Structure 1
Amino acid sequence: MKPTDFAKHLTEFLSVYLPSQKNVSKNTIRSYRDTFKLLIKYFQEMKSTAAERITMDLLSKEMLTGFLDWLETGRNCSISTRNQRLAAIHSFFRYVQAEEPSGMFHFQKVIAIPSKKAKKTVVEHLTPEAMKLLLEQPDRNCLKGRRDLTLMSVLYDTGARVQELIDVKVSDVILDTPAVIVLTGKGNKTRRVPLMKNTVSLLERYMLENKLDKPWKSEYPLFTNNQHNKLTKEGVAYIISKYVTSARKTSTLVPSKVNVHCC
């Protein structure tokens, strides 16, 4: 069977355009890929259409709106997730309209699909007193406790996203005055965040006792698990949760559920 125009464009979009021309992060490419995996699943399960029969003509505004509704009602996805999937579709169709100008009118109907408004949620923040209590929980007499204290201090001091934190390499930590840490966010955009003296002291000790001061370890992840692999988002969430439970045994200053972004 001859490859469809959808197959051709999607392959080029994911494997060439995004990584080489747009230079987007691997996480973004993974998210976009997952969107189209779900779209193919939607065609197979809801439209009885095999992946090899999906064409650009089938990807109408009405079809894609149905897909988004299926995500929200059939798969119980949040409005935020729905909008993320739509953003991937918009990006794909902007790419395709440049490749096939003759279909621009059809493609722009899809690009015009609006995001869905979600209820605004209140962003929670720990008070300085609650954060101080949380930082008192790790056992400073053991290696893992000192790692956790350093991790939470960096998270609090820099306001880093969890993904940014776990992506930090040893070479991203600059402790010479003025001390900074280099964070890499969405789209591989970097920013240099200054560090407070206490965090600098914790990092100096942490890196020294873990022998991370060796030049050949510059590309090692800053924070690792018991298997010396880079921490995961779930791993960081577990660490925070553990100390939240500990802190609440003596005080209600710390809420029972603390999102890692609160730190």
Structure 2
Amino acid sequence: MKKTDFAQCLETYLRIYLPGQAGLSENTIMAYRDTFIQILRFTENTRKKSPDKLTLSDFNVSFIEEFLGWLETENHNSVSTRNQRLASIRAFVKYARSRYPEFMLEAQKISDIRVKKRPKPELAHLTPDEVRAILESVPTDNRYGRRDLALLALLYDSAARVQELCDLRVRDVRLQKPYTVKLVGKGQKSRCVPIMGNTTDILKKYVAENHLNVPEKASNPFFANHMNTALTRAGVAYILKKYCDAARRNSPGLPRMISPHVLRHSKAMHMLQAGMPLTDIRDFLGHEHVDTTEIYAKTDTEIRRRKLEESQISIENDLPDWNSDKNLMAMLTDLCGKS
């Protein structure tokens, strides 16, 4: 069977252009390929057309808009997935119009299809009582428990990114007034943030127990594992999860998923609720622009709105089987030897 212009264009795009000229990885090419597998299924199941007969003239803006709608309504894909598929299609039509100038107008129309806005996920954060429950679940009758308490207390109190905490050196923690910790963030930009009295007391005991207050240990990791090397991001996440699970025995309402970054969000929200200006919170968190920090103000406003709504008085008013022997589908499935 003679290949259509669409089939020829798609094959050279996936087999030659993406791995060669574009230099994309195999995994990225597979993501592009998956988009077109979905398009071919849509073509056969909804348009009742053999995928091997699909041409570039069929591949028009109404076809793509219908396909994107099908992804959400029939395939039950998220808005995020829908937008990813659209991005793959836009990249393909940009290539196709360079090979088939007569396709340029339709390619432009397809490129103009708008990305669909998705609801912004609610910013995950804990209440002060929930943070306290996690810290109180840490046993302090052993050395590692005391280390973990110091780690989690500082992670929350400094609102550090987890990598900033992992990179922390003994010399970066000042336990004389004014109590501060020096954090090195994105782009190797450093900032000094204050730490509170209770956290300082915990850190002083940790430093004394581990004999860290000597000049020769100034460059040592502040938090080390049993091999005396710096804790990793995964290690910090594991420690936090362990004590979150323990805290749920007495606080069953504690969220199921609590990452180290949730403690950072929590500290930011608590500072905002205590009346700290957004510009000060921006500097504390190491954000470059206050726009990034405004998400906390928006979240706090939304929480207050929901509480008001909850307190108000209610006033009452009166996919089918796929035929796998299709030539074009076989090419996509066999690409890079993956199914």
Alignment TM class, shorter chain as reference? 0.5 to 0.7
Tell me the CA shift for residue 255 of structure 1. Answer: 1.5
**Which secondary structure state, in structure 2, belongs to the residue aligned with residue 245 of structure 1?**
helix
Task: Structure 2: give runs of 5+ residues left out of the alignment.
Answer: 1-13, 36-79, 85-114, 264-339
Partners of 2:33 and 2:241 in 1: CA distance: 29
Provide Cα deviations, 1:169-223, integer angstroms capped at 9, x if missing partner: 1111011111100001110000101000011111111011111111011111111
Partner of residue 70, structure 1: 31
Does 1:261 pair with 2:261? yes
Q: Please give the per-residue CA displacement for 1:99-136, whole angstroms capped at 9, x wherever unaligned.
A: xxxxxxxxxxxxxxxx9976522111111001111101
3-state DSSP class of the match of 1:47?
helix
**How far, CA to CA, are the matches of 1:203 and 1:71 in structure 2?**
50
Partner of 1:161: 161
Residue 211 of structure 2: aligned partner = 211
Q: For this pair of structures, how many residues does the alignment match?
A: 177
**1:157 match: secondary structure:** helix
**Shift of residue 70, structure 1, vs aligned partner:** 2.8
Q: Is the 8 A contact 2:180 2:194 kept in 1?
A: yes
Kindly indicate whether the alpha-carbon contact (under 8 Å) linking 2:150 and 2:203 is maintained by their aligned counterparts in 1: yes
- Percent identity between the two aligned chains: 38
Contact 1:164 1:183 (C-alpha < 8 Å) held by counterparts: yes
Q: 2:148: which partner in 1?
A: 148
For the 8 Å contact 1:168–1:183, the answer to whether it is kept is yes
TM-score by length of 1: 0.59
Q: Superposition pairs for residues 42-61 of structure 1, below 5 Å?
A: 46-47=14-15, 54=20, 58-59=21-22
Q: What's the offset of the Cα at 1:252?
A: 2.0
Query: Can you list the C-alpha shifts for 1:32-75, whole angstroms capped at 9, x where unaligned?
Result: xxxxxxxxxxxxxx535898xx5xxx349xx89xx58937958x
Partner amino acid, structure 2, of 1:142: N
| Distance verdict in 2 for CA 1:186–1:251, change over 3 Å | same
Instruction: Decide which structure has the larger Cα Rg and report it.
Output: 2
Runs of 4+ more than 3 Å apart: 48-51, 71-74, 115-119
Cα deviation, residue 225, structure 1: 1.0
Alignment of 1:114-263 (within 5 A): 119-263=119-263
Structure 1: runs of 5+ lacking an equivalent: 1-45, 84-114
